[in-house]
Amino acid sequence: MIIQSLKLKNFRNYELLNLEFHPVTNIFHGDNAQGKTNILEAVYLAGTTKSHRGTKDRDMISFGKEESHIEVEVLKNGVPFRIDIHLKKNSPKGAAINRMPVKRASELFGIINLVFFSPEDLNIIKDGPAQRRRFMDLELSQLDKIYLNNLADYNRVVNQRNRLLKEMAFQDNLRDTLDIWDLQLIRYGELVMEGRRKFIREINEIVGEIHEKLTGGKERLVMEYEPSTGEMSLEEAVKKNRERDIRMKSTSAGPHRDDICFRIHDMDIRKFGSQGQQRTAALSLKLAEIEIVKRVIHDTPVLLLDDVLSELDKHRQNYLLDSIHDIQTLITCTGVEEFVNHRFSINKVFLVQNGHVTNEN
């Protein structure tokens, strides 16, 4: 899979931008706050409909403008695709595939398979459960349209149920309708949970081996899916927590409260691991993510590396660079020295300065 080109209009600090990428390594360097990450953000948005930063659509539109346009051309298994995204300040985003508008932006998922790696991802082990759920959901949504639909339905049901729980405080007769939402919560929730269990089983086969190599055979990483229901089924948990939910006006059990546990030698490194262990585990997880995408789609994803090398020691830098030589990579950094020192093959270099990009080749 290759991203061939990117065009931006009124996106972040880019009034107009037209880039053509190399099929392997593309490096964007320059000082901080010049717009390097904005390029990766635009590519990620075209593939997932969302910003990796969690930014609202209106905030990605250039200051003083009403709308923004992103165009990405992709070659997937020899088939060309063009993806267009229109961001508007006062209305939902629009999207098109090969110039044909799509009704739901989620239809874009799976055309471009992306793995995004930023310094924030190195904290996924020590951060809260929301980050780890987001990791599962974003990867599964790119790989499995059925999971994406089940997750959307589940989130819709949770929101509706929470709204009902709040309204019940003023209209007790609404209690009779809670059963309907409970049934849907259980139905879609169980499907989401099964998708996550399968994903963790599959990625576990990969991540342990990668982590073992990264640590010179000293450690093996094991991931465990931790549903919020514990040993109970979702149906049992929903029934048990019903009165509590009514009292708290919120849904307390379900996939929206799940987590992933990371263990080394039976130790939960979320709580007891050193920073080095947590960062190595995060790197292992990202490399395993690349590998699982390869296995599922029988192609390579596009890797977006956002100033990660500066956060890794030499050993981890070398392992990462050695692992990505065969896939298209878009890399941001402040300087290209670490790549030169590593003798890393650099195919195309861009200098980014205040919203202007210069091809240095």
**95 labeled binding residue:** no
**34 labeled binding residue:** yes
56 three-state secondary structure: coil
**31 labeled binding residue:** yes
Residues 57, 278: Cα–Cα separation, whole Å? 32
**Neighbour tally for 322: CB within 10 Å:** 10
87 three-state secondary structure: strand
**130 labeled binding residue:** no
**C-beta of residue 51 within 8 angstroms of C-beta of residue 44:** yes
- Own/partner long-range contacts of 211-214 (Cβ < 8 Å, ≥24 apart): 211/280, 211/281, 211/284, 213/319, 214/280, 214/283, 214/284, 214/316, 214/319
Length of the chain: 361
Burial of 345 (0-12, 13-18, 19+ CB in 10 A): exposed
Taken in order 183, 50, 33, 3, is the CA torsion positive or negative? Answer: positive
Q: Extract the tokens encoding 118.
A: 């930023």
**C-beta of residue 299 within 8 angstroms of C-beta of residue 113:** yes
Say how many CA atoms lie within 13 Å of 232 toward its Cβ.
14
Place of tokens 């009292």: 247
For residue 27, list its beta bridge partners: 331, 349
Q: Which amino acid is at 209?
A: E
Residues 330, 52: Cα–Cα separation, whole Å? 15
**37 labeled binding residue:** yes
Nearest CA to 317 out of 278, 280, 275 is that of: 280
- Binding-site residue numbers for ATP are 30-37
- Binding-site residue numbers are 30-37
